[in-house]
Amino acid sequence: MAICLASASPRRQELLGQIGLRFMLLPQDIDETRLPREAAADYVRRMAGEKALAGIQDVGRPAGLPVLAADTTVVCNEAVLEKPLSQDDAVRMLQLLSGRSHEVLTAVALASENSPRVQLAISRTHVSFRNISLAEAKAYWETGEPADKAGAYGIQGMGAMFVSHIEGSYTNVVGLPLFETLQLLASVGITGLSLLEGAAK
């Protein structure tokens, strides 16, 4: 294994697998409550950093393996949209996003034994939605897809039908911006070249 992934997200696992990175799952259960008046960027940075720190201190982590963590949120008209709490909450979010542009922010954090500080990077992507009817929003909830996703949609799934335009990193919207992730991993010797060489063996 090259790293530990402090997340249970299937989307993040798929993205790391896409680039050939070998990883061990080490999800961390932390308090994800946003602080009063905490800016969205500060919130995702704090969450990603705390997950990475918890992972590096986890007794289940094999010695020497760095820990990668991430946190994603959606911002529309200054409202921070996290995972929906119910159908009504998901429909509310989708109606807010309907016919508008919003911003997806993902912070990526890397903790290692060789560095006293957690390294952080953040990615921002602008996504525009077409108009979404109330019936569509309710039907989309019934698919089960929005329940565990910030902003109540998954761009890699059926939620793609609502997207009219994207500006920035697609993998950021999925939940793990690969450009920023690879920049952090390079600091511990994991590069695009090393991944390609590993896949060729």
Q: What separation in angstroms does the CA of 37 have from each of 34, 40, 73, 120, 149?
A: 8, 9, 15, 21, 22
Q: Which two tokens stand for residue 92?
A: 């509310």
Q: Which of 58, 71, 88, 148 is catalytic?
A: 71
Q: Which two tokens stand for residue 56?
A: 């590096």
Can 71 be counted among the known catalytic residues?
yes
Question: Is the Cα torsion angle 195, 196, 200, 201 positive or negative in sign?
Answer: negative
Residue/partner pairs of 25-32 with CB below 8 Å, 24 or more apart: 26/55, 26/58, 26/60, 26/61, 26/67, 28/54, 28/55, 28/58, 28/69, 30/54, 32/71, 32/82
Site of tokens 């921070």: 80
Contacts of 137 (CB under 8 A, 6+ apart): 90, 91, 94, 95, 98
Mapping DSSP to helix (H, G, I), strand (E, B) and coil, where does residue 147 land? helix
CA-wise closest residue to 159 among 148, 9, 169: 148
67-76 and 3-5: which strand pairing?
A: parallel
Point out the residues that are catalytic: 71
